[in-house]
């Protein structure tokens, strides 16, 4: 029995997270000491060869740039954001290595991809402003070179890297250095994945990279043109990926536009979104609905402050009729999960328009558990905002469409590293300003181990 208890305690302390297993730079996934594997982490190379070391061969799917939808970690609402990488002090050496590698032109194609993946992964999961700020000009130059001259995969990864670099440094110089080049990439790139990545990076360059009010409004108009033309204005005719990215970035950019100026843009925008409700793609329909809810929310706020409106209420009946039809008749050609997600999104928009609430607001009832003191006949109201994300002991509640637009874009750029940046990156904290925070009792591995020890003392040994 003593051996059983000892084995259980050892196993409880050896648990390795999924992210730690997926990240080759982490201790849990590194080959054992003395291994002859060719895929050793760069941390295992001698100090003298650090600058020439290469990152491990593969990162978690959130860091891969070949798939359009692999931009972010697609964690469900309410998930805990993994912070297992944050205690490893070697990341500072790793990011310096990647900066050196980005500047060399002697790497082959495979080495470039490994460097870019590693750089993006490190910057997502660590706030590395102090490490990259002194080199931001040379980093930007190197990344733009790969965006312009690299393969589709290299260009996508380099654009992802540029986006997280802009968000990390929040440098005003980013606007002049990259905006025109990123806009050219959106318009001229052959690969739609590169266009999508460039749209996200471009929106960040405008908002946190030094763009002024005029540039923000021009960016919103540029995105509306893409949406109205179904992508043809940027040579991406009927590309649902590009149209989706344009709608997501429009909401993000529009959340920073002065309400009075937004009222001027509102009519053209809402007509574009209503038209996209007729799309055969569920993601396009969901994003269109979310942007419509965003506009009505902005109008409510504007009216409460000034007594004036955006003059979009006359679209309400048309919108509600179409949303109700979508919720009832989701296409059978898509998967059951996609139908469920679309229906949930559309119902959230309907509730928002009816009650004047933010995303994910619930008015549902559920039966109480008779085993915990309730009865089968008793019901309790489960109302309030259900969209939230947790990090350690804190829960961040997404209670407005404006906040939702910013959060969704941060997920695209930072993936599972959003918690680290939320706590340390002032730019990210500013984007999430106004979010409701509350605390919850964490159920981490340490508490589980303590519980197991107490359980075995009491019940296995009669103590």
**Residues facing residue 390 across a β-bridge:** 80, 395
Per-residue pLDDT at 339:
86
The distance of Cα 354 from the centroid of its chain, to the nearest Å, equals 28
Which residues, 6 or more positions from 31, have their beta carbon under 8 angstroms from its beta carbon?
37, 39, 40
Distances, alpha carbon 146 to alpha carbons 116, 124, 137, 161, in Å:
10, 20, 15, 11
Question: Which residues in the chain land under pLDDT 50?
Answer: 1-19, 21-22, 24, 26-84, 378-381, 463
Per-residue pLDDT at 378:
47
Per-residue pLDDT at 439:
76
Which residues, 6 or more positions from 164, have their beta carbon under 8 angstroms from its beta carbon?
120, 123, 124, 413, 414
Which residues, 6 or more positions from 41, have their beta carbon under 8 angstroms from its beta carbon?
24, 25, 30, 55, 56
Per-residue pLDDT at 32:
37
Per-residue pLDDT at 150:
93
Q: Which tokens belong to 457?
A: 């003392």
């Amino acid at each position: 029995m003593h051996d059983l208890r000892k084995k259980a305690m050892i196993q409880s302390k050896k648990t390795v997270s999924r992210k730690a297993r997926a990240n080759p730079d982490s201790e849990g996934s590194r080959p054992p000491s003395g291994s002859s594997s060719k895929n050793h982490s760069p941390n295992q190379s001698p100090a003298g060869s650090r600058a020439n070391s290469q990152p491990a061969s593969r990162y978690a799917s959130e860091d891969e740039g070949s798939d359009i939808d692999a931009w972010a970690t697609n964690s469900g609402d309410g998930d805990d954001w993994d912070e297992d990488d944050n205690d490893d002090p070697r990341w500072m050496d790793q990011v310096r290595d990647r900066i050196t590698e980005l500047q060399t032109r002697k790497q082959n194609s495979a080495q470039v991809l490994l460097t870019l993946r590693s750089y993006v992964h490190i910057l997502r999961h660590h706030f590395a402003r102090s490490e990259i700020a002194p080199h931001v000009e040379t980093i930007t130059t190197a990344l733009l070179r790969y965006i312009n001259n690299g393969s589709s995969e290299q260009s996508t990864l380099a654009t992802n890297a540029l986006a997280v670099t802009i968000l990390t440094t929040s440098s005003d110089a980013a606007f002049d250095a990259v905006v025109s080049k990123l806009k050219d990439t959106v318009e001229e790139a052959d690969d739609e994945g590169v266009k999508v990545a460039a749209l996200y990076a471009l929106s960040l360059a405008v908002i946190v990279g030094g763009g002024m009010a005029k540039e923000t409004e021009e960016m919103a108009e540029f995105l509306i043109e893409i949406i109205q033309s179904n992508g043809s204005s940027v040579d991406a005719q009927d590309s649902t990926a590009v149209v989706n990215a344009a709608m997501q970035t429009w909401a993000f950019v529009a959340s920073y536009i002065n309400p009075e100026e937004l009222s001027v843009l509102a009519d053209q925008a809402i007509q574009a979104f209503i038209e996209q409700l007729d799309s055969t793609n569920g993601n396009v329909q969901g994003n269109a609905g979310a942007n419509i809810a965003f506009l009505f929310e902005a109008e409510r706020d504007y009216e409460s402050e000034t007594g004036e409106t955006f003059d979009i209420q006359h679209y309400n009946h048309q919108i509600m009729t179409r949303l109700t039809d979508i919720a009832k008749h989701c296409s059978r050609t898509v998967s059951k999960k996609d139908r469920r997600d679309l229906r949930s999104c559309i119902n959230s928009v309907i509730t928002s328009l009816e009650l004047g609430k933010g995303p994910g607001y619930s008015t549902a009832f559920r039966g109480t558990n008779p085993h915990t003191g309730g009865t089968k006949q008793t019901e309790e109201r489960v109302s309030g905002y259900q969209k939230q994300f947790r990090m350690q002991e804190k829960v961040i509640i997404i209670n407005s469409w404006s906040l939702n637009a910013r959060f969704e874009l941060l997920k695209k750029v930072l993936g599972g590293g959003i918690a680290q940046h939320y706590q340390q990156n002032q730019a990210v904290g500013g984007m999430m300003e106004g979010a409701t925070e509350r605390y919850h009792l964490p159920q981490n591995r340490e508490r589980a181990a303590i519980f197991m020890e107490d359980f075995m003392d009491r019940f296995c040994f009669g103590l």
